[in-house]
Structure 1
Amino acid sequence: MRIPLPNPAGASLDSAESSKSAAHAPGSAARAAASLAELVGYRTVSSRAAGAVETAEFEAFIAALPRLYPAVHAALELELVNGHALLYRWPGTAPAEDRAEDPAAQERAAVLMAHYDVVPAGDPAEWTQPPFSGHNDGTFLWGRGTLDDKGQLVAILEAAESLLRAGYAPAHDLYLSFGNNEETAGDSAEAAADLLAGRGVKPWLVLDEGGAVAGGAFPGVSRPAAVVGVAEKGILDVELLTRDPGGHASTPPRMGSTARLARAITRIERNPFPQSLPDVTEEMLRRFGPHAPAPLRAAFANVALLRRPITWLFGRLGNETNAMTRTTVAITTLEGSSGANVLAATAKANANIRIAVGESVAGTMAQLRKIIRDPKVELRVVEGNDPSPVSPSSGPQWDLLTDCIGQVFPEAIITPYIMMGGTDSRRFTGICPAVYRFAPFCMDVAARGSIHAVDEKIALQTLGQGVRFYETLMRRL
């Protein structure tokens, strides 16, 4: 459904005037916090289970946005995609004749992304503050989705609202794409990308969630690191299934369905996928090098010569560094008999696999069969996609992005990296060669650990920094 909204006249401000009038407005951080507090209250929990999604919560979330961001909804066109995903178009002001004379101008559109669906909160009793309260204690705003990813959506909309109130309009079309089923790897982002492709839109830049300004991100490096995802691992869910006649548990067979499944899982655990050090990770180490302790500084300066021992070391430093060097497999769900004294006729497990850049779904499946070494364990691909293409860590898009990061987070080391998780942005790599993943928020180890866990919260100060980042980026776009 396409919702045309009025677009009041307005012209782009020159850079100096824009910086002066649209600089991080007093009160915009407070408005962002108030808006986020309300939006956290909508239980927009996505689910693959039929009928488990509370549609009314998604509709209430959408209905609240025009009231919270009236200038945005007066100036931008809004389209509902795939039911509850949102696609805004902020029309550019460049004259049509300029676009016709300069083909490159037609491809200067940009897409800023976020998603507003969230994962379940679990037991509310385990939270310090109720997970859907949006509680503001003066330092943090608490609740499911504050970091992943309603906070980013609010920062984008608050920046646009502030700029519109200051009289700003972009020279080139700017799209805001907000997904409703990212947490379940849903199809809304793909539908949005297909919609733009069908209209001939080839974005110059796409920016989604992903990396952040991370404290304690790398052993021995005290400065925060602004890690910008230039690629993301592939995601593959594989069902492992074993079968057996079943029967009474008092006469168990040898190597029944559950035992056979357990052996397969044990073999996966004992035989990790081979290690390698991607070029992007090598570049990241070079950028960390000057800020690392002396022994590491020398090693990172010569990472090309020391690639093998560094790769080996990464596999043993911790879970995050290990995941940087290989395809990983996590057994996430198990299912066997429904009765305590009944043999399982079938036993199932789900293997959630993150495929390293340079590998593929087909190659990963072949390796998995080789590791399990049992033809009686059936493997079925539930859903999977190859790793994303690698976006450049140099050139005009990268330079623009890192310059904006540097203005808001001057103390941060800016580096490319490969995302371990998946985002909606992978759906846009077919129409844009410069897709990046970065949330403009400071997150320490505890904050990163709260994502998808209890006590998720965002610091009010960094929410304000996020608004300022998007104001800076939008002015530059």
Structure 2
Amino acid sequence: MVLKRRSLQPPVMHPRRRQDITQHNVGTLFNSKDFQNEVAHRLSGAVQIPTIAYDGMDPVGEDPRWDIFYQFSDYLERTFPRVYKALTVETVSTHALLYTWQGWDETLKPMLLMAHSDVVPAGQSATSEWSYPPFSGYYDGEFIWGRGSEDDKSNLIAMLTAVDCLLACDFKPQRTLIVSVGFDEEGGADQSYGARCLADTLLARYGKDSMELIFDEGIAGIEKRFGTDFALPATAEKGYVDVTIKVSVPGGHSSTPPDHTAIGFLAQTIRLIEDHPFPSQLIRHNPTLIYLRQAALLSKNMPDDLREAILGSQSSRKLLEYLDNDRERRAMVRTSTAIDVVQGGDKVNSLPENATVLVNHRIAIQDSVHVVKDHYVSLLSPWARRWNFNLNAFGARMHKNHEDGATRTDGTNDCGDLTLVASYELDPSPVSDTDDACFRWLSGTIRGVFGENVVVAPELLSGNTDTRYYWDLSPQIYRMSPWRASHDPRGTRMHTVDERMPVAGLLEMVKFYHEFIRVMDEVRR
């Protein structure tokens, strides 16, 4: 099957003004070994400060584990004195940072860059497995090693370095630039001391839809797929909900057990959940569909049968089969179900009275929190009726007598209670429009920095970023860490042992932010 590879890509974009900056920074400075080592040591120093965000931390001011962030903000001020002198730097909610580089043309909406300073724990049990101590920030000339080196201190250091380089050339922005730095992105779904307060501050100051675009972290954004380099800015991210299932039954001595203990009953519900996944569906506004079409038209080595499945009008079933055959691809078209935490039982000779399971869901574009709840009710109601459990689902008592179908009102409990509770409910994000000028500007800059042969296509992010608090500030939100994943042959190591950042990738990030700021300064609608 031969396809005409018509160009679906916007033109390459380079800054046109101030070619002296291009010659000095892009042409010379960014290629020098001294600059490479300076930027690497900036990131190394940032990694050495263990700004860990744990699940379940108490609020700032009450939990001393937040105090390490004072040291980190001091480090940034020492490392970037020129930035702190020229920009307005504010602290929000104690440890969040807001940098504002005021532009001289107030008719232009600001552009907003985002990052976060917190990191996940390194894990005491796994410390011995690290090649270098996880907070050493060791730099071997090729990689900066340590927790947070990739996620997300690399983006933060690259952004501030790009601004610093522009300041050194006496660049005066036309468009206001804002850099918003949260400190609890990794801290768990129930924490929002940083990003939420930053978003609220910006919303109160500038108003709804006041930002031209928002750019935040994401996957290592330049990947080779089907023999072709793809840049994959995420234009949407999945929703999120945790569902806790609790089985409660009478206890007793283990010498006279019933047919099923609380744990046994819970195991039955777990099997039901895993045996009945959410259906896969590829709908029109899922960014995955746009990516697949771009890949089918522009990639070098895609198998012909897959191209035909993507582009053919009668091949949707075959395409879904392809997506379902790999768990990474499947996550782009299905609400995921992950049995993550199970608890039950206290003692070997005592029957457990309670057993619980925590199930994590990343909600697909076509679904919602409401859809997830309905799924659980329809799936577990028949089971509860069969075993005569009282079903308390998401705040509503829903048990029906399994013999006659009548709603029970007498409060009796023939077997036990099955309780479903949802926590941290987040619907999927809005989808940014790839036909918008902002996506063309972003795509043109990416191709200008990484090469005109790079194919830019939107991606759906399966996780969640701090952008979940920023939806009201702009309809154009993109999530990508702008460096080539191929710089690390071991692949991305974020959130695991031996996290590291290639210095070549770090320099690419500096160059991208440097050029993106300049391109956005020259364009207008």
TM-score (norm 2): 0.82
User: Which residue identity lines up with residue 273 of structure 1 in the other structure?
Assistant: F
Residue 157 of structure 1 is matched in structure 2 by 160
Q: Secondary structure at the match of 2:458?
A: strand
Q: Structure 1 pair 127/159, CA: closer, same or farther in 2 (3 Å)?
A: same
Which one of the candidate residues 300, 303, 314 is aligned to 2:323?
314
1:338 equivalent in alignment to 2:343: no
Residue 9 of structure 1 is matched in structure 2 by none
Which one of the candidate residues 268, 279, 299 is aligned to 1:274?
279
1:192 equivalent in alignment to 2:198: yes
Distance of 1:262 and 1:300 partners within structure 2: 39
Q: Structure 1 pair 308/256, CA: closer, same or farther in 2 (3 Å)?
A: same
Tell me whether 298-307 or 238-247 shows the greater mean CA deviation.
298-307
1:78 equivalent in alignment to 2:89: yes
1:389 equivalent in alignment to 2:430: yes
Equivalent pair of 2:96/2:182 in contact (CA under 8 Å): yes
Where structure 1 has 5 or more consecutive residues not aligned to the other structure, the ranges are 1-11, 100-104
1:68 equivalent in alignment to 2:59: no
Residue 208 of structure 1 is matched in structure 2 by 216
Distance of 2:351 and 2:64 partners within structure 1: 34
Residue 398 of structure 2 is matched in structure 1 by none
Equivalent pair of 1:109/1:172 in contact (CA under 8 Å): yes
> Deviations for 1:321-378, whole angstroms, at most 9, x for unmatched residues?
1111110011111111233333222112211100001321111111122233433431
Distance of 2:466 and 2:68 partners within structure 1: 21
Distance of 2:24 and 2:222 partners within structure 1: 30
Residue 394 of structure 2 is matched in structure 1 by none
In the TM superposition, what is the alpha-carbon distance from 1:205 to its structure 2 partner? 0.6
Which one of the candidate residues 46, 53, 60 is aligned to 1:39?
46
Distance of 1:314 and 1:276 partners within structure 2: 10
Distance of 2:439 and 2:313 partners within structure 1: 23
User: Which residue identity lines up with residue 162 of structure 1 in the other structure?
Assistant: C
Equivalent pair of 1:213/1:224 in contact (CA under 8 Å): no
Equivalent pair of 1:152/1:209 in contact (CA under 8 Å): yes
Equivalent pair of 1:236/1:355 in contact (CA under 8 Å): yes
User: Which residue identity lines up with residue 54 of structure 2 in the other structure?
Assistant: S
Q: Structure 1 pair 474/310, CA: closer, same or farther in 2 (3 Å)?
A: same
Where structure 2 has 5 or more consecutive residues not aligned to the other structure, the ranges are 1-14, 385-390, 392-416, 521-525
Q: Structure 1 pair 415/391, CA: closer, same or farther in 2 (3 Å)?
A: same
In the TM superposition, what is the alpha-carbon distance from 1:15 to its structure 2 partner? 4.0
Residue 405 of structure 2 is matched in structure 1 by none
1:431 equivalent in alignment to 2:473: yes
User: Which residue identity lines up with residue 228 of structure 1 in the other structure?
Assistant: P
Distance of 2:261 and 2:358 partners within structure 1: 18
Which one of the candidate residues 306, 311, 336 is aligned to 1:302?
311
In the TM superposition, what is the alpha-carbon distance from 1:303 to its structure 2 partner? 4.8
Distance of 2:248 and 2:206 partners within structure 1: 50
Tell me whether 196-205 or 429-438 shows the greater mean CA deviation.
196-205
Count how many residue pairs are aligned between Structure 1 and Structure 2. Answer: 452
Q: Structure 1 pair 287/172, CA: closer, same or farther in 2 (3 Å)?
A: same
Distance of 1:337 and 1:301 partners within structure 2: 50
Distance of 2:18 and 2:66 partners within structure 1: 43
Which one of the candidate residues 237, 243, 246 is aligned to 2:242?
237
Distance of 2:422 and 2:368 partners within structure 1: 13
Distance of 1:200 and 1:237 partners within structure 2: 33
In the TM superposition, what is the alpha-carbon distance from 1:196 to its structure 2 partner? 1.0
Distance of 1:363 and 1:297 partners within structure 2: 31
Distance of 2:347 and 2:492 partners within structure 1: 36
> Deviations for 1:154-200, whole angstroms, at most 9, x for unmatched residues?
11111111111111122121110111011124322121111111112
Q: Structure 1 pair 299/254, CA: closer, same or farther in 2 (3 Å)?
A: same
Distance of 1:226 and 1:420 partners within structure 2: 17
In the TM superposition, what is the alpha-carbon distance from 1:65 to its structure 2 partner? 0.5
In the TM superposition, what is the alpha-carbon distance from 1:446 to its structure 2 partner? 6.4
> Deviations for 1:98-127, whole angstroms, at most 9, x for unmatched residues?
x4xxxxx25x20110011111111121111
Distance of 2:79 and 2:201 partners within structure 1: 27
Equivalent pair of 1:28/1:158 in contact (CA under 8 Å): no
Residue 457 of structure 2 is matched in structure 1 by 415
Q: Structure 1 pair 13/89, CA: closer, same or farther in 2 (3 Å)?
A: farther
Residue 413 of structure 2 is matched in structure 1 by none
Equivalent pair of 1:336/1:348 in contact (CA under 8 Å): yes
Equivalent pair of 1:261/1:348 in contact (CA under 8 Å): yes
TM-score (norm 1): 0.90
Q: Which is greater in Rg?
A: 2
Q: Structure 1 pair 424/440, CA: closer, same or farther in 2 (3 Å)?
A: same
Equivalent pair of 2:281/2:366 in contact (CA under 8 Å): no
Distance of 1:210 and 1:453 partners within structure 2: 16
Q: Structure 1 pair 248/13, CA: closer, same or farther in 2 (3 Å)?
A: same
Which one of the candidate residues 33, 45, 55 is aligned to 2:66?
55
Distance of 1:16 and 1:446 partners within structure 2: 35
Distance of 2:257 and 2:492 partners within structure 1: 42
User: Which residue identity lines up with residue 32 of structure 1 in the other structure?
Assistant: V
Residue 3 of structure 1 is matched in structure 2 by none
